[in-house]
Amino acid sequence: MILLDGKKTAQEIRTELKTAIDKLKTEGKKTPGLAAILVGTDSASEIYVNSKAKDCNEIGMKTVTEKRDASISESELLELIESYNKNKDFHGILVQLPLPKHIDEDKVIEAISPQKDVDGFHPMSVGKLVIGKETFRSCTPAGIQELLIRYNIETKGKHVVVLGRSNIVGKPIANIMLQKKEHANSIVTICHSATKDISSYTKQADILIAAIGRAKFVKADMVKEGVVVVDVGINRVDDATAKKGYRVVGDVDFDEVSKKASYITPVPGGVGLMTRAMLLKNTYTAYLKYGK
């Protein structure tokens, strides 16, 4: 079994981007910029946005975090987004979700310029992905594919089984993997809450991508020998022996399934760090395409 090391791979990506940005600075050129907007005081969102700012600082990418109170009106938030749509110093815009209930998330996502949609959530980005056009891809699915690429895992003609159909992971990774392109071209099955006898599908998987938010759901008897496992799940389980009183585990029972897998991601240390790295990569791409 080989560990799909998201920490190591994400660091490689950040190093590559830092080299490219250092070169821009040496040449006296404008550098990429990412604007993050955080509404409210959700602790998980604050940690995530702060980590993204830290990543930007590490590679020399310009960044700003706009923090707003949860009482901000929808119109005020849309005005803030529009100000960054027009700001030529920032090439990517990230609005951290979830938003307060009085704000329409769809309206906010659609307000971001497709040229700065580095989260890959805009309907134009999603539509281009479905029909196979070059576009920004949401960061977690893009990170999954990047891991497969960097570990030289064959995907052509392989059966990819995706557990979960969210707009953030399940649907986009399914669309990425079925494209008639290099590092994709797979046979794709999506399983979800209405799937009967889910193990009959997971046992067929050459590559299993678990993104359903159920701790240790996938057991060893649900997969075949040699399967490639990508675990997107982030679940807290009580653990009195842990310093914080809980442990973070994935959707896959790592101890069981790793004994049968050829490759597997750890949790933590796997896909989550790749998500952050791909946000940086998308922002650099936005700079190259639209911002120089």
**pLDDT 10s digits, 212-224:** 999 999 999 999 9
| Active site (catalytic) residues | 52, 96, 119
Q: List, as one string, the DSSP characters of 173-196.
A: HHHHHHSSSTT---EEEEE-TT-S
Q: What mean pLDDT comes out for the span 79-100?
A: 97
Residue type for 44, please? Answer: A
Q: List, as one string, the DSSP characters of 115-126.
A: GG-TT--SHHHH
Task: Tell me the HSE value of 116 on the side-chain side, using a 13 A CA sphere.
Answer: 26
Tokens of 253: 């029972």
CB contact at 8 A, 165 and 193: no
Residues of the chain above pLDDT 70, percent:
100
Burial of 53 (0-12, 13-18, 19+ CB in 10 A): middle
pLDDT at 49 over 80: yes
- 131 φ, ψ (degrees, to nearest 5): -95, 5
Report d(CA 56, CA 277) in Å as an integer.
10
Q: Helices marked H in the chain — which ranges?
A: 6-26, 43-59, 74-86, 105-111, 123-130, 139-150, 170-178, 199-202, 254-257, 271-286
Structure confidence at residue 43 (pLDDT): 81
List Cα–Cα distances, 6 to 10, 31, 211, in angstroms: 6, 26, 16
The model's pTM is 0.95
Instruction: Please give the DSSP secondary-structure letter assigned to residue 13.
Output: H
Query: Which domains are seen in the chain, by residue range?
Result: 28-115 (3.40.50.10860), 139-272 (3.40.50.720)
Q: List, as one string, the DSSP characters of 24-71.
A: HHHTT----EEEEEEES--HHHHHHHHHHHHHHHHHT-EEEEEEE-TT
**pLDDT 10s digits, 259-281:** 999 999 999 999 999 999 999 99
